[in-house]
Chain A
Amino acid sequence: MRIPCPYCGERNSGEFVYRGDAAPMRPEGAEGLFDYVYLRENPAGPLREHWYHAQGCRNWIEVTRDTRNHVISGAILAREARR
């Protein structure tokens, strides 16, 4: 699989570390922490997910990937994804 890093360009997925769904936000307190740690949506379709470009620019990026066919429709730096 090739991942389009916003800084480096298209690279082999082996250069990256996978973290998973980008949607969960750490709650302020204990309320909702179980869900944050354990519960994931697992959609069949587009998913925004975090990848770390360990062997490249060493940045977290947010990739939008269709889980049914691995078609990647976009990638931005994670720091820019957090509005």
Chain B
Amino acid sequence: MAEALLIEQRKGLALASVMARKGVSAQDLGKAFGLSALPEGPRSARIDSLSFWGTGPGTWLAIADRFDPGWPQRLEQIAGRLASISDQTGSYALFRLSGNGARTLLQRGAAVDLDPQVFGPGSVATTVIAHIGAIIHRDEAGYDVAVFRSYAESFRDWYDSVAATV
């Protein structure tokens, strides 16, 4: 992460929440999607162009890199008996933060420890930034921050004011 600080809004994604039905394990669901298991804690897993972020016990946010008209029925066909699928494509705005100071900037808003020792690639945190509910995900190259769509502008305002100090 040696390049300049950058924020971009990620467009064209498809999102859905996945909630395991009673008695269905993270392994059961993972196998259906071709993984050994879905993450059992606040971590992410990825297969092909589909990511899963752990958001709570037995709940995940599924994110496909490209929206297609078959979403989320495609997920229902795979896991319809094991989980409740709810389309969230229009519910969240996703921001991509990368480059120098991205962690410092996020750390000024989020009261969770983002030190690489405890928040390495694949970590997820559902928390709050400037009173805005946010899901933070880290990968090798930077951070994703998902906020409820109607808060996108407020989140950008917060980002702009803090970016000036980093």
Residue ranges of A at the interface with B (Cβ–Cβ < 8 Å)? 7-9, 11-12, 14-15, 55-59, 77
Contact A12 B111 (CB under 8 A): yes
Contact B127 A11 (CB under 8 A): yes
Contact A15 B128 (CB under 8 A): yes
- Other than A7-B42, A7-B56, A8-B127, give 11 A-B pairs with Cβ distance below 8 A: A7-B41, A8-B42, A9-B112, A11-B127, A14-B128, A55-B133, A56-B56, A57-B42, A57-B126, A58-B56, A59-B57
CB distance from A7 to the nearest CB of B (A): 6
Contact A11 B42 (CB under 8 A): no
- Contact for B127 among A7, A55, A59, A77, CB less than 8 A: A55
Decide if B26 is an interface residue (CB 8 Å cutoff). Answer: no
CB distance from B58 to the nearest CB of A (A): 10
Contact B128 A57 (CB under 8 A): no
Nearest neighbor of B126 in chain A, beta-carbon distance = A56
Some 15 contacts from A to B, beta carbons below 8 A apart, are: A7-B41, A7-B42, A7-B57, A8-B42, A8-B125, A8-B127, A9-B42, A11-B127, A15-B128, A55-B127, A56-B127, A57-B42, A57-B56, A57-B57, A59-B56
Decide if B98 is an interface residue (CB 8 Å cutoff). Answer: no
